Each structure stands twice: as C-alpha cells, then as structure tokens.
Amino acid sequence: MPDPARLKTGDCFLLPSGRPFILASDMTLTPADAARIFSSARDGGIATCNGGGDFFLIGSRFALSGNHADILLAMLPPIVHIGKKAEQAALRWSVERMMQELREGQPGGFLVAQHLSHMMLIQALRLHVAEGLTGGVGWLFALADKRMGAAISAMHDDPAHRWTLQLLAAHAGMSRSSFALRFKQRVGASPMEYLARWRMLLAGDRLANSSDPIAAIALSLGYESESAFSTAFKRVMGCSPRQYSRQREAVRANRLDPVAA
C-alpha cells in the first residue's frame, strides 16, 4: 500500500490501478461511501463535490481498452501526484473551463467537459513522463528523451524488423556506444533486452486475447521458427507460450464463474 499523499489546493492526482482510496482531512475519521457524496454524478464518469466553504473537488474516471493498455498501466505508480505550481498551471485552463461548462449547463456542455477530462488525463501523464527526465528509469520515462523516444518508437512500430544496435543508434542520431550507454541508463535495460521484452509482451497479449496459432505469432514478431520464439518467450516470461495461454484461460474462467474456487 503506498504512503498517504498530502493534497493542497490546486493539486491533481491519478490512480492508474483503479484501487479503492480514502480522501480525508483526518485519516482517523470513519470514511463515508463516495457514492453518497457524488450522488449527483452524471453518466460519462465526471463527478463534482462542493463540500461547502472553499472546498470544491472535480473528478473523472476512465477505462483504458485496446492492445497494450495493461503494459502502460503497469509502468505507472499507484499514485501520480501533480502538486508543483508549474505543473498545475498546465492543467488550470482545462479545469476552469470544465467547471464553467458544468456550471452553466449550455447545450453540449457535458460533452465538452468529457473531452476536457481526456485532455487533462493526457496532460497529467505528459507531466509525469516529463518529470522522469530528472531521474525516472523505464521506457515510459525514456519516451520524454527525444533520442531514446525515437529508437523506442521504431521498435514499437515494427517489432518484427531485424533491429541491430547500429540501426537503432541511427534512429537516435547517436554513435552506437553512446546510444547503448544512454539507453541502458534511461530505460534500465539494453536495447536488445528491451526489444526482446517488448516482443514477448506483444506475444503475451495475443496469446491471451486472440486465437492466433503460436507459429503465426512467432513469424509476426520476427522469429523464423516456433522453437526459437518459444525459447525466447520462456526466457523472458518464465514459461512456455502454451503454458502462458493456459494460465490466461484459467484466469478468464475464474472471472466468468462466480462460484469457481
């Protein structure tokens, strides 16, 4: 469980994992169900709370779907806390405009508010990534480094390509040795280690969410044989592709069957 975060006026926070949380002025107080406090929340995931005095809170919930959403969420901390004044300024226009739309009740106002909430989410993630330039390690933070981001984007766009250190360094506009050192410092793994990990994450996603045969998945990720792919998959993921697929099927079955042990 993460340590409590102290919020001040103007702060923004994200809870990427969707876990339950308590928001309180005194952590010893008995919490109230948020459903009662946000009883006026409308469809679309936006809720406001005016607690009286100078207290006003606005929140929104999001559902990430599509390929690789879990990969992104796994890179984020339990709490993304945006509390620096310079960071708050980047979000202030969207917040104030959303409050105006919700307050005035103009035609289409709630739709505008929804789009503003999406802008706030993206901006908050950008700020979190940018902060990583001061010491964050991982592919998400490395995207804020333009040179490392160029190499990572190339791998993401064409994971089946026969990438070499020299080719990736060319995308970054660096010498091979300088690129390899900087990539390891920013990402926490060598370029080839990262490429193998990315390929296996993509493979795991397809094994879990498609009926594609293992041979087809292997070929689409640049492996000439199923055996070579299976060896690489087990090295990175800790089990064979077939074992991984069976494990994911078991997890889905347990989620669908409420009486399953």
Q: What is the pLDDT of residues 7-47, one digit of tens each?
A: 888 788 887 777 778 888 788 888 877 777 665 545 456 76
Rounded to whole angstroms, how far apart are CA atoms 222 and 233? Answer: 13
Same structural domain, 166 and 239: yes
pLDDT digits (tens, 9 = 90+) for 197-256: 999 989 998 898 888 999 999 999 999 999 999 999 999 999 999 999 888 777 655 544
Contact (CB, 8 A) for 83 and 8: yes
Same domain, yes or no: 85 and 188: no
pLDDT > 70: what percent of the chain? Answer: 80
Residue 23 and residue 113 in one domain: yes
Would you list the DSSP string of 169-227? HHHHTS-HHHHHHHHHHHHSS-HHHHHHHHHHHHHHHHHHH----HHHHHHHTT-SSHH
pTM for this predicted structure: 0.63
From 134, 150, 180, the end of a domain falls on 134
Please identify which residue in the block is written with the tokens 């945006």.
82
Please tell me whether residues 18 and 128 are part of one structural domain: yes
250: in domain: yes
* pLDDT at residue 193 greater than cutoff 80: yes
Q: Examine residue 81 and state whether it is found in any structural domain, yes or no.
A: yes
Q: Are 101 and 56 contained in the same domain?
A: yes
Q: Is residue 261 part of a domain?
A: no
Work out the burial of residue 83: count CB atoms within 10 Å of its CB; fewer than 13 is exposed, 13-18 middle, 19 or more buried.
middle
- Tell me the residue range of the domain where 32 lies: 12-134
Percent of the chain's residues with pLDDT above 90? 30
Per-residue pLDDT of 232-245, as tens digits, reads 999 999 999 999 98
